[in-house]
């Protein structure tokens, strides 16, 4: 019986390697298209502008007179609950030393998915 | 004598064809999902455009030498939402969002604002008025794929808006629905 020539085994092995690398490249390409979608979705779902808007009002509220500040506090809580499905709460206090006055505030925002908490301080 | 060497070649051939088939499937599958991702990206951009436009309109002019601080155009419109001011809102918002170096964009919008009635101090017992229109470039029929842009501001809004007697500082939420047609 003639001996089997085994040179072809190298060709088959190379074929395997090439096809496997193609397979993994295709897998990477397949996943990469979903990335744009999921990123845009998570950006759209994150209430960045809601929080920024509400935060700016809460800080403005600290510098209004007492009647307006109280009115606007309840306005913000009412509107946030009914129009943005968010429970919000905030406190502003003013502390004075002999030389300086500090205004500090605490902001709480919760829309069921995201909880945001902030403390801020400003020197007058 | 029967030779069994051929079996090895058959198994290799089968394995290679399976791998090629899977690769071809993945490649074809890859090209077909592009439109899905694109939809959400343009939604995100439209929302940002709307929020930026509202932020620009809520920018007050500089204080005068005598020290009086001007109100932003958006605040003036919200405080007196008569037909002249609603037209002003539509023109302003339309120009900011649809401005391009060549031609105009096709963004359409419908805007309104909400505020809390009365002086009730409990959030749960205060009804919200959300029906004051600020004008629209086209009527919202429900078939549009709209996104929402919002802006919070403090304004001397009466109840109903424009009534001087009941005007006090209120938190107002301006909401704009935007879509491309």
Residue A62 at interface with chain B, using a CB cutoff of 8 Å: no
A77 and A34 share a domain? Answer: no
What distance in Å separates the CA atoms of residue B6 and residue B21, rounded to the nearest whole number?
Answer: 23
What distance in Å separates the CA atoms of residue B56 and residue B72, rounded to the nearest whole number?
Answer: 9
- Contact check, Cβ <8 Å, B116/A70: no
Range of the domain at A58: 48-123
A56 and A106 share a domain? Answer: yes
A79 and A56 share a domain? Answer: yes
Helix axes A66-84, A48-61, angle to 10 degrees: 170
A119 and A79 share a domain? Answer: yes
For position B63, what pLDDT does the model report?
Answer: 74
Residue B34 at interface with chain A, using a CB cutoff of 8 Å: yes
A9 and A56 share a domain? Answer: no
For position B123, what pLDDT does the model report?
Answer: 53
What is the helix (H) or strand (E) element at residue A84, kind and residue range?
A: helix A66-84
Give pTM, 2 decimals.
0.75
A65 and A35 share a domain? Answer: no
Q: Torsion angle, CA of A46/A49/A55/A56, rounded to 10 degrees?
A: 170
- Contact check, Cβ <8 Å, B152/A41: no
A14 and A29 share a domain? Answer: yes
- CA distance, residue A101 to nearest chain B CA (Å): 23
A58 and A100 share a domain? Answer: yes
A14 and A61 share a domain? Answer: no
DSSP class of B103: S
ipTM, 2 decimals?
0.73
A11 and A61 share a domain? Answer: no
What's phi and psi for B148, nearest 5 deg? -115, 130
DSSP class of A4: P
What distance in Å separates the CA atoms of residue B41 and residue B47, rounded to the nearest whole number?
Answer: 10
Scan residues 153-172 of B and list those with Cβ closer than 8 Å to A.
153-154, 168-171
Residue from A35, A48, A79 to probe the interface with B (highest B Cβ count within 10 Å): A79
* Per-chain mean pLDDT for chain A: 86
What distance in Å separates the CA atoms of residue A124 and residue A25, rounded to the nearest whole number?
Answer: 59
Per-residue pLDDT of chain B (181 residues), as tens digits, is: 677 778 888 888 899 899 888 888 887 777 655 555 556 778 888 999 999 999 999 988 777 777 777 889 999 999 999 999 999 999 999 999 999 888 899 999 999 999 888 665 555 566 788 778 898 998 888 888 899 999 999 998 888 888 887 778 889 999 999 998 8
What distance in Å separates the CA atoms of residue B155 and residue B116, rounded to the nearest whole number?
Answer: 12
What is the helix (H) or strand (E) element at residue B83, kind and residue range?
A: helix B83-98
What are B48's two structure tokens?
């940002």
Residue A22 pLDDT greater than 90, yes or no: no
- A19 to chain B: which residues are within 8 Å by CB? 16, 19-20, 23
- CB contact at 8 A, B110 and B132: no
Domains identified in chain A, total number: 2
DSSP class of A110: E
> Which of A14-23, A39-48, A52-61 is most confident?
A52-61
Query: Pairing relation of β-strands B147-157 and B168-180?
Result: antiparallel
For position A52, what pLDDT does the model report?
Answer: 92
What distance in Å separates the CA atoms of residue B136 and residue B7, rounded to the nearest whole number?
Answer: 74
- Contact check, Cβ <8 Å, A37/B151: no
- CA distance, residue A43 to nearest chain B CA (Å): 7
A38 and A67 share a domain? Answer: no
Residue B140 at interface with chain A, using a CB cutoff of 8 Å: no
User: Could you tell me how many CB contacts below 8 A there are between chain A and chain B?
Assistant: 118
For position B125, what pLDDT does the model report?
Answer: 62
A52 and A95 share a domain? Answer: yes
Residue A1 at interface with chain B, using a CB cutoff of 8 Å: yes
- CB contact at 8 A, A74 and B126: yes
Which residues does A12 contact at the CB level (< 8 Å), separation at least 6? B12
- Contact check, Cβ <8 Å, B173/A83: yes
What distance in Å separates the CA atoms of residue A8 and residue A16, rounded to the nearest whole number?
Answer: 13
For chain A, list the strands marked E by DSSP: 87-96, 101-110, 115-123
- A60 to chain B: which residues are within 8 Å by CB? 154
Residue A100 at interface with chain B, using a CB cutoff of 8 Å: no
What distance in Å separates the CA atoms of residue B38 and residue A36, rounded to the nearest whole number?
Answer: 8
Instruction: Please compute, for residue A29, the number of CA atoms within 13 A of its CA located in the half-sphere on the CB side.
Output: 17
With tokens 């929302």, the residue in question is B47
pLDDT digits (tens, 9 = 90+) for A66-124: 888 888 888 898 888 888 889 999 999 988 888 889 999 999 999 988 999 999 999 87
């Amino acid at each position: 019986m003639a001996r089997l020539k085994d040179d072809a085994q190298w060709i088959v092995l190379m074929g395997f390697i090439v096809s496997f690398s193609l397979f993994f490249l295709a897998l990477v390409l397949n996943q990469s298209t979903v990335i744009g979608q999921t990123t845009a979705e998570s950006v759209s779902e994150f209430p960045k502008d809601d929080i920024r808007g509400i935060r700016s009002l809460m800080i403005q509220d600290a510098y209004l007179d007492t009647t307006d500040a109280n009115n606007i506090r309840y306005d913000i809580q009412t509107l946030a609950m009914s129009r943005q499905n968010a429970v919000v709460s905030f406190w502003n206090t003013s502390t004075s030393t002999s030389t300086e006055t500090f205004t500090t505030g605490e902001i709480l925002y919760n829309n069921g998915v995201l909880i945001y908490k902030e403390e801020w301080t400003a020197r007058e | 004598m029967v030779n069994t060497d051929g079996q090895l070649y058959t198994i290799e051939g089968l394995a290679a064809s399976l791998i090629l088939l899977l690769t071809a499937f993945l490649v074809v599958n890859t090209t077909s999902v592009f439109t899905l991702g694109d939809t959400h990206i343009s939604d995100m951009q439209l929302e940002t455009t709307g929020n930026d436009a509202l932020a620009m309109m809520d920018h007050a002019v500089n204080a005068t030498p005598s020290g009086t601080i001007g109100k932003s155009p958006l605040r003036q419109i919200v405080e007196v939402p008569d037909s002249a001011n609603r037209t002003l809102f539509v023109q302003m918002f339309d120009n900011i969002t649809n401005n391009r170096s060549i031609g105009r964009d096709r963004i359409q919008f419908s805007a309104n604002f909400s505020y809390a009635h009365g002086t009730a101090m409990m959030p749960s017992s205060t009804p919200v008025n959300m029906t004051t229109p600020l004008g629209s470039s086209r009527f919202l029929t429900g078939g549009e794929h709209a996104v929402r842009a919002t802006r919070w501001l403090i304004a001397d809004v009466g109840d109903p808006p424009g009534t001087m007697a009941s005007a006090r500082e209120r938190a107002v939420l301006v909401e704009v629905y935007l879509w491309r047609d």
